[in-house]
A = this chain, B = another copy of it.
Amino acid sequence: MTQQRYKVIFQPAGRQGWALPGQTLLDVARELGVYIESICGGHQTCGQCRVEVVEGDFPTFGIHSSAQHLSPPDEGEQACAERCGLKPGQRLACSARVQGDVVIHVPEESRLKRQVVRKDATTRTFRVHPALRLAYVEVAPPRLEEREGEWERVARELAQRFGYTAVAPELDLLRDLPAALRQGERHITLTLWQERRGIRVRAGFHDDLYGMAIDVGTTTVAGHLVHLRTGHILTTVSAMNPQITYGEDIMSRISYVMQHPDGLTRLHRAILDGLNDLIREATDRVGLSPEDVSEVVLVGNTVMHHLLLGLDPTSLGAAPFTLVRQDAVDVRARDMGLDILPGGNVHILPCIAGHVGADNVAVLLAEAPHRVEGEIHLVIDVGTNGEILLGNRESVYAASSPTGPAFEGAQIRHGMRAATGAIERVRVDPQTLDVRFKVIGEERWNNEWPEDALDAFDPAARSRRHRHRPRVVKARGICGSGIIEAVAELWRVGAIDDSGRFVPGLEEETPRFLPEGTKGAFVLAWPHESATGEPILIHSDDIRAVQLAKAALYAGAKLLMNRRGITSVDIIKLAGGFGTTIDPVHALLLGMIPDADPARVRAVGNAAGDGALMALLDREVREEARRLARWVTYVETALEPAFQEEFVAAIPFPHARDPFPHLAPFLEAAEPWRSQRRARAQNARRRRRRRK
C-alpha cells in the first residue's frame, strides 16, 4: 500500500514535488530547494514565510489547486497574521499543512534571495541575500539526565529547525548565552554569519540586522548604513579620511610609512579611528549603537586596502608594485580593530593588481560593463585616484590614474568636501562675467535668495537670531562638482585661455577678478553670500590643480582606448561620490573625458559605494567580485611610457591634440564675448613674445 501524497508546485520558481499529508509548506519548500525566508524556523513568530495559494485548474500538471487544500489557520497563525499584518489570502508556510494538491505563489518579500530597487541618482536593483542570517530559537529547559550544555541544545535546534549543522559559536556568544536564555525565558535570536559562525545572541525575538558599506577613498570616506534584511538604506554618512594629515595622495602616504618607524601604525590607526567615528555617527543618527552593526564591507584603492588591514604598503610604491594580498579578505571586526559587533565580519573586496584596487572592483560590480553586449562602455570613477574601466562582455580593461585630490576639494584654496554649504553648481554669464551658484543644502540658486538674506555679514546679527532657522544656507566653500563647473564655465566664456591662465584685462571687465602678478583669482561668492564673511574664490593654482587632475583621467581613459584599439566609446559613465553628480557638458568642456555626445554621458553617482553595498547585501556578489578581479585585464599606468605623453597632451582645455566636435553647440552661446577675450589673450602673448 503506497502512502497518500499530494502535488505541490511553487511559483515563480516552478519547482514541483510531492508532499505527505500534514507536511508544512515550509518543509516541502526546503525539500524542493525553494528558499523561503524564515527567522523563527516555524514558530509562527516572525511572519516572514507568507505565501499565497493560486487557485484553479492546472491541466499541464493535472491538478486542481485550492485554498481548501491547506489546513485552516490555527491559533498561532491567526495571532501572527494580526501582529505581522498578513494580507487576505496570505498564509504562513510554516503553519499551513498540505491536505491536497496546491500551487503556491511565493511573493518577492518572502524569498530568501529577493530584489529591491533603489531610485537615487541612478536607479539600481540590489539583490538581498546577505551573509548574515537571523535564527530565532526556543530552547527546551535543561534536564538533569542530559549531559549536553546550553550551546549544544541551541545547536540541535539550529540543525533541526534550520538545517544549519555546522555553526561554531564565538566566545562572546557563549559568554552572553546564559543571560540571554534567562532574560528571554529561553527564547533567543542568534545572528549567524554564512550559517557557520554564531556571532551574537539576543534575548527574545528580533528581526533587525544591520550592516555598513563603506568606500574608503584617499580623501573622502563615505558609507551607507543599511538594514540587511530589507536592503533599506537608513542613512548615508561621509567624512574626510583622517590620513590626509600624513599626505594628500597615496604616494605621499607610502612615503610616510617608509620614512617613519611607526608610520604604518599611525596610518592604520588613523583610518580605523575615522571609520569608527563614521560608524558611530551613522548609528547615532538612527538611534542604534555600533554593536548593532554586524558586518561591514569595505572598498578602497590598493594602498587604502593595505593600510586598513595594517599591511605594509611599501611594495606598492615601486615596480613591480607587489600586493601583500590580492584576494578578498574576511576578518573579524575585533581582529581588525573596528568597533562594531566584536565577532562581526569585515569583508574587503579583492584587488585587481598593484595599483588597481577593490574600489575599481566595486565600480565594476555597480556599472557592470562586463554584462554589456556590443556597446563599449567607459566608466570613470573620479576620486583622488581615478578608477577607469573600459570594455564590454568580451573584455574589460581596468586602470587607476593618479588624479590628485582636486576633485574632492583638497589642494583647492576654498575646496571642501560635498557637505552643506559647498558650492556644487556654477554658471558664469558670458557677457557680464556675473556668477550664479547653488549650494548643497539650499534649494534655490543664489540669485533667487530673498533680499534680506543678502545683508552684509554681521556676526553680531547672526548671534541675535541664532535660534531662528537661517533664511538661506550660504556658501562655505566649493566641492568637486562646483570646481569642475567653475573652471569649465570660466573657459567657456573665455575668462581663461586653453592653457588655463586668466586672460589679461579681466580686472577692467569685472570686480570679480582679483589680479595677483601673473596669476589671479576669480570671486564666485561675495562676502555677503558666504557663511564665513570672506569671499570664495577660484585661484590660478586651483585651475592648475584641476588641469592636472583632468589630464590624468583623460590620459588613463585614452590609454585603455588605445589598448583596445578604439578612438571613441559608446557610453561614458561618470562616477564619484562628491555631493551632486558631475554635469556631462562641463566634464566635456574641461576635457576630462574623451569627446562624446553629452546625451551618451551619464552621471552615475557613487558607483564604488554602490558596488560595496551590493556586496554587503548579497553574499554571491562577493564571489562574482573575486571572479571579476581575476578576469579583468589591468593596465599599469605608472609604467606605460604612453601615459606620460597622453597626460601632457591633455593638460590644455579641452586638449592639445584631440578634437572635441561635440562641444561646438555649447560654446556658441558665449560667442562673441569668448572670442573677444581669447583674442585679447593672444595679442598679449604676441606682445610679450616680441618684447623678449
Contact = CB atoms under 8 A, between A and B. Distances in A.
A155 to B, nearest CB: 9
Interface string A134-174: 00000000111011111110000000000000000111001
B335 A149 contact: no
Interface in A395-448: none
A531 B370 CA distance: 84
Contact of A149 (B148, B322, B636): B322
Given A150-B322, A170-B335, A175-B311, 18 more contacts: A142-B320, A143-B320, A144-B319, A147-B323, A147-B352, A148-B323, A148-B326, A149-B324, A149-B326, A151-B325, A152-B327, A171-B309, A174-B309, A174-B325, A177-B324, A178-B312, A178-B314, A179-B312
A151 B174 CA distance: 33
B312 A144 contact: no
Nearest to A350: B149
Interface-centre pick from A149, A335, A352 (highest chain B CB count, 10 A): A149
Contact of A354 (B147, B177, B178): B147
A140 to B, nearest CB: 12
A485 to B, nearest CB: 37
A351 to B, nearest CB: 7
A634 B145 CA distance: 10
A331 interface: yes
A351 B319 contact: no
Interface string A638-670: 010000000000000000000000000000000
A52 to B, nearest CB: 43
B331 A171 contact: yes
A258 interface: no
A57 to B, nearest CB: 52
A312 B175 CA distance: 7
Contacts of A171: 309-310, 331, 335-336
B639 A147 contact: no
20 contacts: A143-B320, A144-B320, A144-B321, A146-B320, A148-B323, A148-B326, A149-B322, A149-B327, A149-B351, A150-B323, A150-B325, A151-B324, A170-B335, A171-B309, A174-B309, A175-B312, A177-B324, A178-B311, A179-B312, A334-B335
Interface in A514-547: none
